[in-house]
Structure 1
Amino acid sequence: MLSIALRGLRSRWITFVGSFLALSLGVAMIAVMGLALASSLDAPARGPERFAAAPVVVRGQDTLRVPTPNGVRTRRLARPHVVPAHVVAALRRLGKVTQDRSFTVRAEGGPRDLAGHPWPTAAFAPYELSAGRAPRAADEVAATGGWTAVGRRVRTDSGTVRVVGTLRGPDVEDALFYTDTRASRLAPRSTQLVVDAEASAVRKVVGGRAEILTGGERRLADADPDRDAEALTALNALFGTAGGVTGFVSVFVVASTFAFTVAQRRREFGLLRVAGATPGQVRRTVLAEALLVGVLASAAGCALGGYAAPHLAERVVDGGLAPAWFSVGDHVWPYQLAFWTGLSVALTGAAAASWRAGRTGPAEALREASVDSGTLTRGRLLCGAALLGTAVVTLALTLLTEPGDLLHRKTYVSRPMLLITATALLSPALVRPLTRLITWLPARLPGAAGTLVRENAAAGVRRTAAVAAPVLVTVALTGSFLGATATLSGAKAAEARRQTAADLVVTPAAGSGGFDAATVRRLRAVPGADVSASATSAVYVLEDGVALLRSEARAVDPRSLAATARLPVTAGRVAGLDDDSIVVNEEWAAHRVGRRVTVWLGDGTRRSLRIAAVLSTGTGDNGVYVTSANAKGAPVDRVDVRARTAEGADAVAAEVRKALPAPGQPGASARVFTREEWIGATTPRADSTSRLGLLLVLGIALLYTGISLANTLVMATTGRTRELGALRLAGATSGQVLRLVAAEALTVVTVGTALGVLVAALDLLGLWGALNLLDVRTAIRMPWSAVFAAAGACAIVAVSSGVAAAGMTLRRWSGGRGGS
Structure 2
Amino acid sequence: MKKYGSSTASHGLRSHSSASRDSLRSLVWSLVKAHRASYTVLALTVFVTSLLLCSTLQVYTAGKMMDGAVGMDSMNTLRRLMAVTPYQNVVVLSTVSVLCIGLVAVFLVLASVSSLVQNRRREYGMMRLNGAGRLRIMVMALGEFSLPLALANAVGCLAGSLLTVPMGMAVNGPAEFPGSGMLFRPRIRPVVSVLAFVFMMVVCLLGVWLAVRKIGKATPLELMGQEPVKDTGRMGWLRSVVAGVLLLITLIVGFAPIGVTLDVRCMLLVILVISTVYASSPLLVSVSVSLVGLVPEKLAEGPGILARQRARRKTEGSMSIALPVMMVLTIVVSFLAVLRAGSIGGNMLNLRPLKADVVATADTSSGVDRIDSSIRDLGDAVNEADIYQTQQWAVEGSDSIFQVAWHEGPGRLPGGTGVTAPKVVKGSLADLGPGRIAVSNEHADYRLGDKVTLLDRHDRRYRLTVVAIVDPPEGMPELPMDFLSSADGLPRSGELDELIAMVSASSSVAVNGILKGLQETGVRGMRVETRAAFIDRFVRRGVSGQHALSVMIVGGTVLAMVFLVQSIAIALAERRRQDHRLYQIGVSHRSIIWSAILEIMVDAFSGILIAMVAVCVVVAALAAAFNGAGIGVSYTPIPVGSFCLIGLLLLIIGVAATFEISRSMLGDPGSEQ
Give the TM-score taking structure 2 as reference length: 0.79
Aligned 8 A contact 2:59 2:94 in 1:
yes
Q: Are 1:645 and 2:484 matched, yes or no?
A: no
Match of 1:788 among 638, 644, 647: 644
Aligned 8 A contact 1:534 1:554 in 2:
no
- Aligned equivalents of 2:81, 2:97: Cα separation in 1: 24
**How far is 1:554 from its partner?**
6.3
Aligned to 1:10: 33
Aligned to 2:53: 30
- Aligned equivalents of 1:621, 1:652: Cα separation in 2: 21
Aligned 8 A contact 1:520 1:533 in 2:
no
Aligned to 1:357: 215
Q: 1:23 to 1:575 in 2, by over 3 A?
A: closer
Q: 1:768 to 1:254 in 2, by over 3 A?
A: same
Q: Which ranges of structure 2 fall in alignment gaps of 5 or more residues?
A: 1-23, 432-437, 455-461
Give the TM-score taking structure 1 as reference length: 0.66
Aligned to 1:42: 66
**How far is 1:428 from its partner?**
0.1
- Aligned equivalents of 2:554, 2:587: Cα separation in 1: 40
- Aligned equivalents of 1:320, 1:626: Cα separation in 2: 26
**How far is 1:789 from its partner?**
0.7
**How far is 1:797 from its partner?**
0.8
**How far is 1:431 from its partner?**
0.8
Match of 2:138 among 246, 263, 283: 283
- Aligned equivalents of 1:654, 1:267: Cα separation in 2: 81
Match of 2:614 among 735, 759, 764: 759
Aligned 8 A contact 2:576 2:665 in 1:
yes
Q: Are 1:504 and 2:358 matched, yes or no?
A: yes
Aligned 8 A contact 2:386 2:421 in 1:
no
Aligned to 1:261: 116
Match of 1:579 among 414, 429, 442: 429
SS of equivalent residue, structure 2 residue 632: coil
**How far is 1:458 from its partner?**
2.0
Match of 1:526 among 352, 359, 378: 378
- Aligned equivalents of 1:600, 1:771: Cα separation in 2: 38
Q: Are 1:292 and 2:292 matched, yes or no?
A: no
Aligned 8 A contact 2:45 2:563 in 1:
yes
Match of 1:448 among 269, 294, 302: 302
Aligned 8 A contact 1:43 1:228 in 2:
no
- Aligned equivalents of 2:347, 2:164: Cα separation in 1: 37
Higher strand fraction: Structure 1 or Structure 2?
1
- Aligned equivalents of 2:473, 2:419: Cα separation in 1: 18
Aligned 8 A contact 1:267 1:369 in 2:
no
Q: How does 1:212-231 map to 2 (within 5 A)?
A: 217=74, 219-220=75-76, 224-231=79-86
Question: Which digits, 9 at most, give the CA deviation of each residue in 1:462-485, with x for residues without a partner?
Answer: 111122222123212342233234
Q: Which amino acid in the other structure matches residue 211 of structure 2?
A: A
- Aligned equivalents of 2:150, 2:245: Cα separation in 1: 32
Q: 1:620 to 1:722 in 2, by over 3 A?
A: farther
Q: Which ranges of structure 1 fall in alignment gaps of 5 or more residues?
A: 49-215, 568-572
- Aligned equivalents of 2:137, 2:88: Cα separation in 1: 49
- Aligned equivalents of 1:467, 1:631: Cα separation in 2: 70
- Aligned equivalents of 1:479, 1:519: Cα separation in 2: 45
Q: 1:548 to 1:314 in 2, by over 3 A?
A: closer
Aligned 8 A contact 1:599 1:607 in 2:
yes
- Aligned equivalents of 1:498, 1:388: Cα separation in 2: 34
Q: Which amino acid in the other structure matches residue 429 of structure 2?
A: D
**How far is 1:804 from its partner?**
1.6
- Aligned equivalents of 1:736, 1:416: Cα separation in 2: 42
**How far is 1:457 from its partner?**
1.6
Q: Which amino acid in the other structure matches residue 13 of structure 1?
A: R
Match of 1:708 among 533, 558, 563: 563
Aligned to 1:192: none
Aligned to 1:807: 663
Identity, % of aligned positions: 17
**How far is 1:670 from its partner?**
3.5
- Aligned equivalents of 2:161, 2:619: Cα separation in 1: 36
**How far is 1:770 from its partner?**
3.1
Q: Which amino acid in the other structure matches residue 43 of structure 1?
A: D
Aligned to 2:236: 377
Aligned 8 A contact 2:296 2:598 in 1:
no
Q: 1:770 to 1:451 in 2, by over 3 A?
A: same
Aligned to 2:43: 20
SS of equivalent residue, structure 1 residue 377: helix
Aligned to 1:607: 466
Aligned 8 A contact 1:380 1:425 in 2:
yes
Query: How many residues are treated as equivalent by the alignment?
Result: 620
**How far is 1:675 from its partner?**
2.6
- Aligned equivalents of 2:368, 2:358: Cα separation in 1: 19
SS of equivalent residue, structure 2 residue 115: helix
**How far is 1:2 from its partner?**
3.1
Q: 1:809 to 1:9 in 2, by over 3 A?
A: same
Q: Which amino acid in the other structure matches residue 50 of structure 2?
A: V
**How far is 1:381 from its partner?**
3.9
Aligned 8 A contact 1:742 1:799 in 2:
yes
Q: 1:236 to 1:464 in 2, by over 3 A?
A: same
Q: How does 1:105-504 map to 2 (within 5 A)?
A: 217=74, 219-220=75-76, 224-317=79-172, 325-367=183-225, 369=227, 377-385=236-244, 387-388=246-247, 391-392=250-251, 400-406=258-264, 412=267, 416-445=270-299, 447-488=301-342, 490-491=344-345, 495=349, 499-504=353-358
**How far is 1:400 from its partner?**
2.2
Q: Which amino acid in the other structure matches residue 574 of structure 2?
A: G
Q: 1:547 to 1:227 in 2, by over 3 A?
A: closer
Aligned to 2:535: 679
Q: Which amino acid in the other structure matches residue 709 of structure 1?
A: L
Aligned to 2:598: 743
**How far is 1:265 from its partner?**
1.3
- Aligned equivalents of 1:597, 1:271: Cα separation in 2: 85
Q: 1:427 to 1:4 in 2, by over 3 A?
A: same
Q: Which amino acid in the other structure matches residue 339 of structure 1?
A: F
Aligned 8 A contact 1:471 1:752 in 2:
yes
- Aligned equivalents of 1:776, 1:580: Cα separation in 2: 36
**How far is 1:438 from its partner?**
1.7
Q: 1:652 to 1:248 in 2, by over 3 A?
A: closer
**How far is 1:714 from its partner?**
1.5
SS of equivalent residue, structure 1 residue 767: helix
Q: 1:809 to 1:699 in 2, by over 3 A?
A: same
**How far is 1:772 from its partner?**
3.0
Q: 1:498 to 1:36 in 2, by over 3 A?
A: closer
**How far is 1:441 from its partner?**
3.7
Question: Which digits, 9 at most, give the CA deviation of each residue in 1:774-795, with x for residues without a partner?
Answer: 3222333211122111100000
Question: Which digits, 9 at most, give the CA deviation of each residue in 1:665-696, with x for residues without a partner?
Answer: xx4553322333322333343664x3221112
**How far is 1:302 from its partner?**
2.5
Aligned 8 A contact 1:9 1:289 in 2:
yes
Q: 1:736 to 1:553 in 2, by over 3 A?
A: farther
Q: Which amino acid in the other structure matches residue 641 of structure 1?
A: V
Aligned 8 A contact 1:371 1:460 in 2:
no
Aligned 8 A contact 1:537 1:554 in 2:
yes
**How far is 1:258 from its partner?**
0.4
**How far is 1:537 from its partner?**
5.5
RMSD: 4.1
Aligned 8 A contact 1:534 1:636 in 2:
no
- Aligned equivalents of 2:445, 2:259: Cα separation in 1: 17
Question: Which digits, 9 at most, give the CA deviation of each residue in 1:428-457, with x for residues without a partner?
Answer: 011111112222343334723333222222
Q: 1:379 to 1:349 in 2, by over 3 A?
A: farther
